[in-house]
Structure 1
Amino acid sequence: MAKRTENSPVFAIRLAQARERAGLSQKQLGILAGFDPSVASPRINQYERGRHEPQLKTAKQLAEVLGVPPAFLYTDDQLLAELLLRWNDLSLKAKKHLLKEVEVETSSKKRAGR
């Protein structure tokens, strides 16, 4: 496992969290994301250690394999990260309902603040 600290880049921390959540090794993740097997583990390790950050296209591939929205890999907001982890599990109807709830909540706060 890659060593992570509070000072690690957000992408490195989130990638490791998502990979561990998916129960994949670094090598497995790399191979499933389309990396050559000989470099799969070292590349993921470099990403998780914060030594390199992949291009957006690669980050999207990793997110797809991990079953998380790409935004999860980039957010430093813990509550948003938790919401994003659950987002893919929601039906379209539930997503629309949640969005409507957020719209109601934010518009009522705007009205109250006037």
Structure 2
Amino acid sequence: MSATDNTVFGGRLKEARLRAGLSQKSLGIAAGLDPFVASTRINRYELGVHKVDYPFACRLAAELSVPTAYFFAEDDDLAELILLYGQASKRARTRLLAAAREI
């Protein structure tokens, strides 16, 4: 990931964390970080200072109930579609895919 990728990831991580109503520390602890460093580490990810490895990004996504791909989408509209798809029921996903294929 480049610095820009880190910034995109960090912004999406912060949005998802705030939407979930979690502090940086509580998210970090829930994702398996040591409580002593949890807040600082999540803060550094959100600011784009540190790069997140993919397995840990998956753990963060699971804790925040978002698809991992949401963090990495470069386009805001695509990120929103990924998020909506991830939150949709199986039936809604099928309809969404069918509608997308018709476009």
- TM-score above 0.5, yes or no: yes
Of the candidates 59, 64, 71, which is equivalent to residue 66 of structure 1? 64
Query: Is 1:54 the equivalent of 2:55?
Result: no
* Aligned position for 2:91: 93
Larger gyration radius, structure 1 or structure 2: 1
Give TM-score scaled by structure 1 length.
0.81
Q: Map residues 1-114 of structure 1 onto 2, 5 A cutoff.
A: 9-105=7-103
- The alignment yields a C-alpha RMSD, in angstroms, of 1.7
Alpha-carbon shift at residue 91 of structure 1 (Å): 1.0
State the alpha-carbon separation in 1 of the partners of residues 89 and 48 from structure 2.
34
State the alpha-carbon separation in 2 of the partners of residues 89 and 48 from structure 1.
23
> Matched residues, percent identical?
47
Amino acid at match of 1:98: L
State the alpha-carbon separation in 1 of the partners of residues 96 and 83 from structure 2.
15
Counting matched residue pairs gives: 100
Tell me which of the two structures has the higher relative contact order, counting C-alpha pairs closer than 8 angstroms and 6 or more residues apart. Answer: 2
- Write out the 4+ residue segments of structure 1 that deviate beyond 6 Å after TM superposition: none
Structure 1 gaps of 5+ residues are 1-5, 106-114
Confirm or deny: 8 A CA contact 2:66 2:87 kept in the other structure: no
State the alpha-carbon separation in 2 of the partners of residues 65 and 87 from structure 1.
17
